[in-house]
Amino acid sequence: MNEKVKDIKNKFESDLKNVKNTKELNELRVEYLGKKGYIQKLNPLIKDLSNEEKKEFGKSLNDIKNFISKELEELKMKLDKKELEEKLVSEKIDTSLPATKFSKGSIHPLTKVRREIEEIFISMGYDVVEGPEVEFDLYNFEKLNLPKNHPARDMQDTFYVNDEVLLRTHTSPVQVRTLEKSEGDIRIICPGKTYRRDSDDPTHSHQFTQVEGLVVSKDVSLSHLKGTLEEFAKKMFGDSVKVRFRPNYFPFTEPSIEVDISCFKCKGEGCSFCSKTGFIEILGAGMVHPNVLKMSGYDPEVYRGFAFGMGIERVAMIRHEINDIRDFYTNDIRFLNQFNRKGGLEDEA
Ligand code: FA5
């Protein structure tokens, strides 16, 4: 019986010498130690042996199994090491090759300008707050002194979700939301998206962005509003910019004004871009109407406020000499790349 074990051992030793890789090694393992392998095939023979022979045969079976396992394991370690070394050589990375260039994105010019506006007002002591883009009619119109069927609603037509809910036409509803939540002095700005049923043209879009400003205190006046906006314009456009205030009408401010900045194209001379006026409108503003203060819990006999709402696109267009508002939304990489250059709106990220 032990002869058979010896034969298997001899055959295994000669087979092992021919193994060249881990695949062949695994095949050899199955051939000898697998369920149908040489060793398993010896098991049924045990039953015909005497007790004494069974003991001896069992021991030699264990010995040969241990021997084969150990030999296979040792060879496996050697082959693994060899194969890893070969792989490292064949997959060597040439670090001296120039890397493949990939283009880096940049912050959108509107985001960049919005952040610049925020920083200017933060430096003047304003807090930045947010409000919902899908707004109640109550906040977008009614509590801004524009009751249902008020003719001035025609100035800002919008997209309605239902009779009471709409896409906000301006950031002014945030004035109401802030007044309702506050007591005493307020000094906030609110940037965000706004929507109107305006026809798209070089200076108008059906979706645009505004920054609302609201200051409430016992002693603010129109002079504070003018001073604040002049200071903002100088910081944003440089000391040489001309700012023009025109009387206007908004139902939620009294008096109301509109503010224009000298045209970047003709420097105030008058050209086709500014409709020969030399100026481009950037914002509406005024002293908060007493009704608006009253409806949100402020006593207009004690508190006064000023407010403004500016179009970020218009500011960005003047600041960066952009001729068409639609360029901001069409994602033309050639347009956006201009702001990625040194001297442009360089991405600080
Ligand atoms: C308003 O939206 C008022 N809520 C502003 C305001 C706030 C007045 C607080 C008083 C107190 P107006 O409709 O004029 O006003 O819009 C303000 C600015 O948003 C405009 O000066 C312009 O810069 C920008 N704007 C308005 N409509 C569009 C449009 N369709 N596309 C791009 N920008 C626009």
Residues 263, 258: Cα–Cα separation, whole Å: 15
The residue contributing the CA closest to ligand 1 atom 26 is 311
pLDDT of residue 258: 96
Q: To test the ligand 1 pocket, which listed residue (314, 317, 325) has its Cβ within 8 A of the most ligand atoms? A: 314
What are residue 118's phi and psi, to 5 degrees? Answer: -60, -45
Q: b/e map of 208-239 (b: 16 or more CB within 10 Å)? A: bbbbbbbbbeeebeeeebbebbeebbebbbee
Burial class from Cβ neighbours inside 10 Å (0-12, 13-18, 19+) for residue 322 reads: buried
Measured from the Cα of 315, ligand 1's closest atom is: 23
The best mutation among 153, 170, 190, 252 to test binding of ligand 1, ranked by most ligand atoms within 8 Å of the C-beta, falls on: 170
Q: Which residues sit opposite 211 in a β-bridge?
A: 191, 310
Nearest atom (ligand 1) to Cα of 205 = 31
- Cα(202) to ligand 1 centroid in Å equals 15
197 CA to centre of ligand 1 in angstroms: 13
Q: Do the Cβ atoms of 303 and 183 come closer than 8 Å?
A: no
CATH architecture of structural domain 109-340:
2-Layer Sandwich (3.30)
- Whole-model pTM: value is 0.72
pLDDT at res. 164: 97
Summarize pLDDT for 194-205 with one digit per residue, the tens: 999 999 998 899
Binding-site residues, ligand 1, Cβ < 6 A: 170, 172, 196, 198, 204-205, 208, 210, 250, 253, 256, 281-286, 307-311, 313-314, 325
Number of the ligand 1 atom closest to the C-alpha atom of 283: 21
Q: How far, in Å, is the centroid of ligand 1 from the Cα of 172?
A: 10
Whether the bond into 202 is cis, omega within 30 of 0: no
Give me the sign of the Cα torsion angle 127, 133, 137, 138. negative
* Domain coordinates in residue numbering, the chain: 2-90, 109-340
Pocket-testing residue among 190, 279, 283, ligand 1, by greatest number of atoms within 8 A of Cβ = 283
Return the residue whose CA atom lies nearest to atom 22 of ligand 1.
Answer: 311
pLDDT by residue, tens only, the chain of 349 residues: 578 889 999 999 999 999 999 999 999 999 999 999 999 988 888 888 888 888 888 889 899 999 999 999 999 999 999 999 999 988 888 888 888 888 777 889 999 999 999 999 999 999 999 999 999 999 999 999 999 989 989 889 899 999 999 999 999 999 999 999 999 999 999 999 999 999 999 889 999 999 999 999 999 999 999 999 999 999 999 998 999 999 999 999 999 999 999 887 788 888 887 889 999 899 999 999 999 999 999 999 999 999 999 999 999 998 888 989 999 999 898 898 888 754 444 444 4
Please tell me the distance between residue 195's alpha carbon and the centre of ligand 1 in angstroms.
11
Nearest CA to ligand 1 atom 14: 284
The pLDDT assigned to 315 comes to 94
